[in-house]
Structure 1
């Protein structure tokens, strides 16, 4: 007897960011069904259909009206999402959306509030949380194994060629909401906050280097004070050729955890050493999509189960507002040269 799929999902937007979604959905066939794909370019939708065998929707209205579609994955550029999300939420479709939630903190808050008011689930794609090393680090933090958190260091030394920013709208505030902070570093910053808890205040510096001709920042650094009393630093850029793996370091009173890419190394004060996971591509070099689809697969399946079980997904829209608040504060601090307090 064939098992019924956990949920039926449609995919809206078939640009570069959709590659791991489509590969993950292909691997989830039988557990998560794809009711169809949609793109503003019909030719792109047909090409995806030919490659993966997924049906094609001819309009957003058709997805909204389809009784066989439980939820949607929205992977369009940030400036195209609000209207799409509103249409899907009004139709009662649960939503899994690519980061960021929106281009500004206020717009992100509005989207989260709308989904809550309409009673639909909103999950956000922060796949870095799904790596083995990150999951183990989550366990260590939850169990208090590292002791009291003292210091946090987030380093994102990535690279993007100028051709990446030559795509119309990319790296602009109108389309993307900013540069390296909201488009690249947001992954590591979200993971950081999921482990440390909220940030309280930030002092930042942002700039556009000679490596790129773009409107928004390709470099950002900041000092952070967290609610729990820990302090930290962030350095994020897309101007470091050829790009290196990101690092997140948590220094606790019992040990230090270093997450490099997906590999976690924990050095305990008593001399023990633990290694979990492996260093794998995360899109830090010239190819932004040079990483496996495993993390998306786990995240999409969790979202599908959340729909079926009527529970929140692993990463909710409201939880994602924390990283938006931090990025907003870093952007304002970088522009003003002052320390910025981060509100609730």
Structure 2
């Protein structure tokens, strides 16, 4: 039985808690921690959990027998809490983004390796049927070499969204929509398409003058083989349509699932390729659905790895790759230059100090509320 502690009981913690409750024969939640202990107490009472409540995670680590820690706190706290937990001999699953800088990612990965503990970074969108199935279709290489990819991470957030005390600041949130919303699609993108060799990006704040950070960014990624990708990250798009499109030499596939295969006429103009279209549809439709999706699917993966029954799909290395891409976007957009990958310690956006010094500050954050009365999260317009 894996004993679990949840650190941070804000809105996203519900996805973790509900995930663990799906596996009562494999794990149990034994403690909650929040700097606002009343919020943790309300969470425990609502779920009927008669467990201790802490306002200091270090005290929890010292006093409670825990095997796995779920970190659901603001981004700037991820690295210290994860490192302390790993050094205390606990496995860790940490919410996205993994940390505020690549330097912190390196320290987290080192702590996991030195203490022989598992470190998993939340990327729950990998654990969905459409994403898993499209990844499998791409792995078959039926569409040919990918020549262009399009990532549309479109979200919409009202002005008050950035009133929460830690949001909208480079110091505490670590960035805007590119880091905290598009992180899901950027993770999927690098998982499916690999890491590019350079990034050129721009960003702006068009609608949220209560935030230092961007509310839209557009990046162009280039690969050594000449292929290109465009990544749009936004919290100003009504309707929140989101998609990933992969254009291969012979066909295109996308999430949401769609495919089109073409072949050339004698004069170079396109004509349908129904044989390849049928192959793509057959491969996709024959894949089995996942037993668990989203956070529950990732928690199942983490528990299985702890039990010795599989490998982590998203470990610290994978989480770091996603942050590296985002850091390159921020460096390119802030300094108005093309940034080469991989990033090294000489890059200005490698450390948290470098980010705070060199990032573009759009507005001064002047509003800070402790909590919202309504903590519901919506995903693509649907309550969650």
- Give the TM interval when normalised to the shorter protein: 0.7 to 0.9
Structure 2 residue 47 is the aligned partner of structure 1 residue 52: yes
Check conservation: 1:211, 1:239, Cα contact below 8 A.
no
Structure 1 Cα separation of the partners of residues 30 and 117 of structure 2: 19
1:237-287 deviation per Cα after TM superposition (whole angstroms, max 9, x unaligned): 11123x322110011123211113xxx22233432263969xxxxxxxxxx
Structure 1 Cα separation of the partners of residues 79 and 193 of structure 2: 30
Query: CA offset at residue 147 of structure 1?
Result: 1.6
Equivalent of residue 267 in structure 1, options 256, 260, 271: 260
Equivalent of residue 201 in structure 2, options 201, 204, 219: 204
How many residue pairs align between the two structures?
Answer: 320
Alignment of 1:25-64 (within 5 A): 25-54=20-49, 55-58=51-54, 59-64=56-61
Alignment of 1:116-155 (within 5 A): 116-155=113-152
Query: CA offset at residue 224 of structure 1?
Result: 0.6
Structure 2 residue 223 is the aligned partner of structure 1 residue 226: yes
For normalisation by structure 2, the TM-score amounts to 0.78
Structure 1 Cα separation of the partners of residues 208 and 80 of structure 2: 35
Structure 2 residue 321 is the aligned partner of structure 1 residue 322: yes
Structure 2 residue 162 is the aligned partner of structure 1 residue 165: yes
The change in CA–CA distance for 1:332 and 1:69 in structure 2 (over 3 A counts) is same
Structure 2 Cα separation of the partners of residues 203 and 133 of structure 1: 29
The change in CA–CA distance for 1:215 and 1:67 in structure 2 (over 3 A counts) is closer
SS class of match (1:49): helix
Structure 1 partner of 2:298 = 299
Structure 1 Cα separation of the partners of residues 24 and 309 of structure 2: 21
1:91-131 deviation per Cα after TM superposition (whole angstroms, max 9, x unaligned): 11010000111112222222222222222211000111111
Check conservation: 1:200, 1:225, Cα contact below 8 A.
yes
Structure 1 partner of 2:248 = 252
SS class of match (2:181): helix
Equivalent of residue 192 in structure 1, options 173, 189, 203: 189
Structure 2 Cα separation of the partners of residues 122 and 80 of structure 1: 16
Structure 1 partner of 2:373 = none
SS class of match (2:210): coil
Structure 1 Cα separation of the partners of residues 259 and 220 of structure 2: 24
Query: CA offset at residue 311 of structure 1?
Result: 5.5
Structure 2 partner of 1:11 = 6
- Which sections of structure 2, spanning at least 5 residues, go unmatched? 263-272, 286-291, 344-384
Structure 2 Cα separation of the partners of residues 235 and 85 of structure 1: 30
- Which sections of structure 1, spanning at least 5 residues, go unmatched? 278-292
Query: CA offset at residue 227 of structure 1?
Result: 4.7
Check conservation: 2:129, 2:293, Cα contact below 8 A.
no
Query: CA offset at residue 69 of structure 1?
Result: 2.0
Check conservation: 1:219, 1:239, Cα contact below 8 A.
yes
Check conservation: 1:10, 1:72, Cα contact below 8 A.
yes
Structure 2 Cα separation of the partners of residues 301 and 221 of structure 1: 34
Query: CA offset at residue 302 of structure 1?
Result: 0.6
Query: CA offset at residue 211 of structure 1?
Result: 4.6
